[in-house]
Structure 1
Amino acid sequence: MPDNRLIVKMLGGFSLLYAGKELILDRSSVSKTTQLLQMVLLHQEDGIAKTSLIDGLYGREDVENRNGSLNNTLFRLRRQLKAAGLPESNYINIQKGMCRWDPEIPVEIDCCRFEEKVLAGQREEETEKKMEFYREACGLYAGEFLPDMIGEDWVTVRNIHYRNLYFSCLEELCGWLKEKEEFEEIYQLTTQASAIYPFEEWQIWRIDSLIAMARYQEAMEIYQTTTRLFFDELSLPPSPQMLERFRFMSERISQSAGAIEDIKQGLIEREMVKGAYFCTFPSFVDIYHIISRMMERNGTSVYIMLCTLRNSKGPVLGEDERNREVSGMLMDAIRESLRRGDFYTRYNVGQYLVMLSGINQENCSKVSARIGGAFRRRMRRNEFQVDFYVASVAEISPDIPETGRSFSGSADIWDKG
């Protein structure tokens, strides 16, 4: 027998299901008709005032006849619901300025069920039952509330509300599971949370649960992935809490002869990418220190090149989408223009550092010309360009005998320092 409820998903995305069939209302998931339906469904119990609907739909827009616009949107929505396959109905009833969903078509909404489970858990006094409610709530939380519409004020308010409920019940549930030493369940719950919120504290919960189960290698992999993500996306180094766990794991990962195969596998470069080797900024600093020490012994000439993106307003700042796109073009240009033995890293969205070894001043200018040419081929327009500054490692590290003069430059113009 088909399920004649309207099943509505709003956590992690938006979808409608009726009688086992997905309903498609509009080609756009953020249309006015879709938003109107969402707001009415979320207030199916008590209804929602027309004035609130008007504010939610047209609050930021310069609409001359807002009431008329709402009536037109309501007319289109009714027509779309009928065409999508819902039973014949008025769908939305209006009485005394209040809009209510037709109770003859029962509705189940995931975010409402989620909130009901959390609130039931908060009211429950018996711990076991409380935690079971929280388990069910966490299972229902499939992602942020209507993520495609997060810029709408009414969506943002609800999103923060649901996120806070989720964090609260998950933290309490994990604390209880920790006391019961149910570390595998903690790991599963926080892995789900980390997929939705990769920059929150759930990564540490994952690492701690694996450490408690003596699964140090898996914990180390999460540490490395997380710290790389934080640096690449936010330009942030590992937190003190993360470093504390890194030291703990490092002490416990087996270094015995029996683990030599694991060690060898861990040293293999996973992707044989042509061109220079990309590393995180902390790794670049470590390599710099190693190269500096080697120079003391063998006198190899090494230069550090700073590549800075610039547009008509000056150096590129801020992590907006266009800046990230152009930064990726510069990254590709650097990689293909350098040798496999060279290293480079991203310092921020608008700057990259390159380490060039066994090279002289004249060849540094050739390298910058290659990078600039490769970048221009990708850009096709001249809205961005790259400035170059080069200094010898001997100049940067005063303890190393200087083997050559430093020089700096902008674009393809090089001047002796």
Structure 2
Amino acid sequence: MEREKNTGIMRVRMLGGFSISYEGAAVVFDRKSPAKFVQLFQLLMLHLKDGIDKAELIDALYGKDTVENGNSSLNNTIFRLRRQLKKAGMPDGSYITVQKGICRWDEKIKAVVDIHQMEAAIEEARMENGEKKEELLKEACSLYKGEFLPPGAAEAWSVIAGVKYRDLYFDCMRELFSILKERREYEDILHISTRAASIYPYEEWQLWRIDSLLALNRHKEALKVYEETASLYFNEFGLKPSEKMLERFHSMSSQIQGVPSDMWEIRRDLREKTKGKGAYFCSLPSFIDTYRIITRMTERTGMSVFLMLCTLTDSSGIPMEKEDKISKAAEKFQTAIKLSLRRGDLYTRYSSCQFLIMLPGITQENCFCVAERITRLFKEAGGGSNRIRCYISSLIDVNEEFENFEDGFSSPERWMRPKTYN
């Protein structure tokens, strides 16, 4: 940066990565691995204001290692850091001072570190009100670009610091969102919560995104955020949407409005965006609504409709629980289901290792054929020794059991006797 020249300022980024620049020019060490001298520099930046006790520094750097003389090892690491800083283009200096057992960064070279900028902005915001407070909280949030130090920095001191700054960030956003909501500044909430969700895709920030979009009458965008979040939670964590998420889903579904010019435009909006092969996949809430509609239709038409619950198990027939194993097999499982069903069939993911299928216009015998076809395609896709257990039941037989469908199956044992396919 041209404007940084001749300022004598060293800038250090520790949130969302690690980098150093001096007067706008990058300062790059010879090695990228987390060498001791790099950790020493990071610790000095972390304790920039008050310095760090030598004994604490030695423990942080060499606690896991066997060293005969901690002081000697620290002195060698300080020497290597000074040499690396000089070689990387920093001006002449001692860089590090040691006085009365406290190690500090030499103040002759001014260091500006993002974590301390963030803390300072939050501290100042506590003393302010109104627009100034809002401005400072926004500044603090913008400084948080990700986790403290790179993901590989798993030293105890870096983990502790990481939790501290993450919690500061979360508290800062909560306070800021409270202010912005009161002022109806929903665009700002949307921007900040979207950024937060890109770092931490937690439900709290996704709910803020959805709520701000709903407040802005952007219901279709809110629905898209919901669907992406529900999919992420299912695929990554095997979790169903929470009650709060489901509340938003029903709210936005009822509020999606518009004044289309003609029936053609309505039909265009209703059409599937892509016409792939196989059955139709939908979210669990959509499946619930479809189930209730089909149930009403069967009462009038007498159409034969079956439900099938497919559970992925290990070679012993026990439902899989380990997330790493589930994630590897679940994609093959879902593909096998999709390709085994007709275009008019419907399926959803009920849990991390379960899929729920609706089969209209089919006989009981053909349901077993479908189950066998799913297993065959699953094996062909590389399912290994894993097995698939299927519960099958007529929609009419389980109508009463499913009045509170979103709370789960009350007693799958009451369905048709399950069959496990090898």
Quick check: TM above 0.5? yes
- Residue of structure 2 aligned with 1:98, choices 98, 102, 112: 102
Query: 3-state DSSP class of the match of 2:388?
Result: strand
Query: 3-state DSSP class of the match of 1:148?
Result: coil
Match of 1:310 in 2: 314
Query: 3-state DSSP class of the match of 1:315?
Result: coil
Matched, 1:410 2:412: no
Q: CA deviation at 1:317?
A: 1.0
Change (3 A) 1:95 1:323: farther
Q: CA deviation at 1:109?
A: 1.3
Match of 2:123 in 1: 119
- Residue of structure 2 aligned with 1:171, choices 174, 181, 201: 174
Q: CA deviation at 1:110?
A: 1.1
Change (3 A) 1:328 1:83: farther
Match of 1:35 in 2: 39
Structure 1 gaps, min length 5:
413-417
Contact 2:304–2:363 (8 Å) recurs in 1: no
Amino acid in structure 1 at the alignment position of 2:183: K
- Residue of structure 2 aligned with 1:191, choices 191, 194, 201: 194
Kindly report which structure 2 residues correspond to 1:383-402, keeping only aligned pairs within 5 A, or say none.
Answer: 384-394=385-395, 396-397=397-398
Contact 1:227–1:238 (8 Å) recurs in 2: no
Q: CA deviation at 1:231?
A: 4.7
1 CA distance for matches of 2:157 and 2:251? 45
- Residue of structure 2 aligned with 1:6, choices 1, 10, 17: 10
Q: CA deviation at 1:304?
A: 0.7
- Residue of structure 1 aligned with 2:243, choices 239, 250, 273: 239
Query: 3-state DSSP class of the match of 2:314?
Result: strand
Query: 3-state DSSP class of the match of 1:114?
Result: helix
Match of 2:114 in 1: 110
Match of 1:348 in 2: 351
Deviations 1:105-139 (A, max 9, x none): 33221111111111111123x43322222222122
Match of 1:16 in 2: 20
Change (3 A) 1:16 1:362: farther
Change (3 A) 1:326 1:252: closer
Q: CA deviation at 1:398?
A: 6.1
Contact 2:223–2:249 (8 Å) recurs in 1: yes
Could you tell which deviates more after superposition, 220-229 or 302-311?
A: 220-229
Match of 2:329 in 1: 326
Deviations 1:70-122 (A, max 9, x none): 55655554454444443455544444543322334332211111111111111
> TM-score scaled to structure 2, two decimals?
0.79
1 CA distance for matches of 2:334 and 2:102? 56
Change (3 A) 1:339 1:79: farther
Query: 3-state DSSP class of the match of 1:317?
Result: coil
Contact 2:367–2:392 (8 Å) recurs in 1: no
1 CA distance for matches of 2:47 and 2:252? 50
Contact 1:93–1:100 (8 Å) recurs in 2: yes
Deviations 1:317-348 (A, max 9, x none): 143x4432332232233333433333332222
Query: 3-state DSSP class of the match of 1:306?
Result: strand
Contact 1:191–1:206 (8 Å) recurs in 2: yes
Q: CA deviation at 1:33?
A: 4.2
2 CA distance for matches of 1:202 and 1:107? 33
Amino acid in structure 2 at the alignment position of 1:350: C
Kindly report which structure 2 residues correspond to 1:181-220, keeping only aligned pairs within 5 A, or say none.
Answer: 181-220=184-223
Query: 3-state DSSP class of the match of 2:356?
Result: strand
1 CA distance for matches of 2:203 and 2:400? 42
Contact 2:180–2:186 (8 Å) recurs in 1: yes
Q: CA deviation at 1:162?
A: 2.0
Deviations 1:9-42 (A, max 9, x none): 1222222233434344366565544333211211
Deviations 1:148-171 (A, max 9, x none): 147543233223322332233333
Query: 3-state DSSP class of the match of 2:348?
Result: strand
Match of 1:132 in 2: 135
Deviations 1:203-244 (A, max 9, x none): 33334434444444434443444444445544233424x455
1 CA distance for matches of 2:44 and 2:265? 57
Q: CA deviation at 1:314?
A: 4.1
Q: CA deviation at 1:407?
A: 5.0
Amino acid in structure 2 at the alignment position of 1:128: E
Could you tell which deviates more after superposition, 6-15 or 149-158?
A: 149-158
Over the aligned positions, Cα root-mean-square deviation in angstroms equals 3.6
Contact 1:300–1:357 (8 Å) recurs in 2: yes
2 CA distance for matches of 1:119 and 1:132? 13
Query: 3-state DSSP class of the match of 2:151?
Result: helix
Matched, 1:161 2:164: yes
